[in-house]
Amino acid sequence: MRANKVPTEEIKREPAAFADRVTSDGRFGRAAEPGRYRLVVSRACPWAHRVVMVRRLMGLEDAVSLAVADPVQEIIEGDPHWVFTEETGSPGGRDPVLGVHALREAYLAAAPGYDGGVSVPALVDTGTGHVVSNDYDRLSTDMAAEWGPLARPGAPDLYPEGLREEIEEIGEGVYNDVNNGVYRTGFAPDQERYDAAVGRLFARLDELEERLSARRYLVGDHITLADVRLWSTLLRFDAAYHGLFKCNVRKISEYPALWAYARDLFQTPGFGDTANLDHIRAHYYRVMTGINPTGVVAAGPDPRGWLTPHYREELGGSPFGGGTAPGPVPEGEQVPPIG
């Protein structure tokens, strides 16, 4: 279902159209080589944001370059498409590395005649201009666990072998009821399916509130992929999902533990320094005309709340475990500061 259409059926997510795996040893056919790939994202998209966070936490900025699409998709032949514009650092409206205006050009380069959806994130081979993968979950997992030799010294172990089963178990519930649950709620075609989706969403948030009341992170004593997956939705919740998607039983800021947890991560390098709330609001309110036909963008909430003390360190644990924080955000990748 397209975001600019009035919902008539329950939202369904199609499998990734391109799913080549990239690993340090190339055992699936593609090797992680410095400079070979370009990651195309939107700062607005929660699925793309996961990969951006992992890339930064692992220190892979020099290994894989970043291309940021405009948060407001352009309508091309009746469909919304991710495009590059002057406003997002692409002179002449073309990505300076890939030479394309619309991401779909890289999809078509890989598969002429492709007529499916075009999504971010997309990993593109800079040599051929072909999309390699738009599988956000596999991209983030592989960058966390399979790009090791290219990662920075002190990079955290975001996917510890001994915790993977628990990470995936938590992740499945978070995906079904929260990550995708907000969309199932916002695009519910009737009252019955809305009630079911919003009920599951807040039941899961209540469960997460209880879990995070006694521990700093979702799994283990430092940041893992479980936190990355949940936080991408928490960041957008009060700014977009609460009002626009009718996820309005409670705000995240009304959950004591979840809101403190969300602020703790926002203030951790790799999270808030990859977040652009202006892009988030612009995308959701201007693009999703099926549920917001006026395109009027909401003004709030006040982003300064993200910078207030959280006191989560009292629960123990440390963000990076035995590792260290990533260094400064690379030139040209900074997001507007909150102040």
Catalytic residue list:
45, 183
Torsion of CA 260, 261, 262, 268, to 10 degrees: 110
Report the alpha-carbon distance of residue 190 to residue 196 in Å, rounded.
10
User: Is-contact 98 67, C-beta < 8 A?
Assistant: yes
- Residue of 92, 57, 122 whose CA lies nearest to 319: 57
Tally of CB atoms within 10 A around 27 = 10
Displacement of CA 319 from its chain's centroid (Å): 19
User: Is-contact 120 47, C-beta < 8 A?
Assistant: yes
45: CB partners within 8 A, 6+ apart: 120, 121, 283
Tally of CB atoms within 10 A around 107 = 25
